[in-house]
Amino acid sequence: MRFALMTEPQMGLSYADQLAAALHAEQAGFQTFLRSDHYESFPGGSDRPTTDAWTVVAGLARETSHIRLGVLVSPVAFRHPGNLAKIVATVQEMSGGRVELGMGAGWHEEEHLRHGFEFPAIERRADLLEEQLAIVRGLLEGPDGWTFAGAAYRVDDARFRAKPSPMPPIVVGGEGTPRGLRIAARWADEFDLTGSSPDRAREIFVRLDAACAAIGRDPATIQRSVMTGVVVGQDDAAVGARLEALGRAVGAPAGGEWLAARRERWVIGTPDEARAMVRRYMAAGAERVVLQDFIPTDLAMIDEMGEYLVRAAW
């Protein structure tokens, strides 16, 4: 089992906060440190400062040594695919080959509109995602002279220098809609399932197998991961204190509906309870668990996740 630490820095985290979390994740044994790509502060207060995802990852690439780094996921409206390909290739070189690229359709309408980004209907955003995936792969992997003609983008006589080495894995995230699975089967190295219980994850991964088979792709060639919230502690008292901190961070009482709606799909509890939930995801077919940490300034919890989960004997 592989583990990634996922952070939501739009909740007011500075670059220094993110660097501290990444360094602790590296020391704790996490294989990957990921962050979201958002410009609007949520959940919780909407007036907290935010940072640009890829600028931060570029900085982390120079201040970490071996942990993999990535963005999960970059929405289609935020960057032109040619620009995104160049950014990713640059950070791949800066990191010595440790970058992962997550791409998705995006979802936060107010965030888009407040920053001048278009926010078309989901069908249109999915169309744009397919074209962007084609272009990013074509520029990063294709030969000189590679050409693409789509409804939204056109590439003529590509001359992309330098090609990244190795090619960064492309992760497509989603909730397991039929079209999302078809897009992942066609373009992704990894599909990351969000917002799902272990039982639903098992069902979605079966559908992903079918989507791969429908286009002649071996289902074993696409990795499967799940993103799940996390709150762990050495005992019930520690877990309770961190749930209270989580409630303050997201603006929802620890015993309220926000958390209650997530308990069946989050890794919450003491070491034994947390490991039991991870095992359920493993049994469902997940090869990586992306632990979404809404309180990453609690560096001790990152250290404990390393002890309880990342370095556990699975």
Query: Would you say 173 and 72 are in contact if contact means Cβ atoms under 8 Å apart?
Result: yes
Its pTM stands at 0.97
CATH of domain 2-310: 3.20.20.30
User: Would strands 99-104 and 170-174 be described as parallel, antiparallel, or unpaired?
Assistant: parallel
CA-based nearest residue to 76, from 154, 137, 128: 128
Rounded CA-CA distance 216/186 in Å is: 10
pLDDT of residue 253: 82
pLDDT of residue 219: 98
pLDDT of residue 45: 87
pLDDT of residue 256: 85
DSSP 8-class letter at 197: -
> Domain map of the chain by residue range?
2-310
Per residue in 44-82, pLDDT (tens digit) is: 988 999 999 999 999 999 999 999 999 999 999 999 999
Strand locations in 10-67 (E): 32-35
For the chain, which ranges sit under pLDDT 70? none
**Cα 154 to Cα 134, 137, 276, distances in angstroms:** 11, 14, 49
Per residue in 275-289, pLDDT (tens digit) is: 999 999 999 999 999
**Cα 23 to Cα 5, 28, 292, 303, distances in angstroms:** 11, 8, 16, 10
SS3 label, residue 269? strand
pLDDT of residue 254: 75
The string of DSSP codes covering 69-106 is EEEEEEETTTS-HHHHHHHHHHHHHHHTS-EEEEEE--
pLDDT of residue 263: 92
